[in-house]
Amino acid sequence: MAEQKNKAWQIEITLPKGRIKTHVYSDTGEDIIQRFPNMDCKVLGEIDDPLAQTKAEPKPKTTYV
């Protein structure tokens, strides 16, 4: 069975230091605002996953002689 991936959504949210744009993951986008209670949150729309091309570099192994 193929692994189902969440879609990336851009949101605009008001934090104590100001308003920012960021991204979150959700299947439908309908549950995003519920994740940020007591905050002004606006879903701007579905976007391409900004971390899709990012891979963690493996830590090089140290060899002792």
User: Where do the domains of the chain lie?
Assistant: 7-47
Q: Is the dihedral of CA 23, 41, 39, 26 positive or negative?
A: negative
pLDDT at residue 65, as a whole number: 77
pTM of the model: 0.70
pLDDT at residue 2, as a whole number: 47
pLDDT at residue 40, as a whole number: 93
Which stretches of the chain score pLDDT less than 50? 1-2
Q: Using an 8 Å Cβ cutoff, are 14 and 40 in contact?
A: yes
Token code pair at residue 31: 């549950």
Mean pLDDT, the chain, rounded, equals 86
Q: Is the dihedral of CA 17, 21, 24, 28 positive or negative?
A: positive
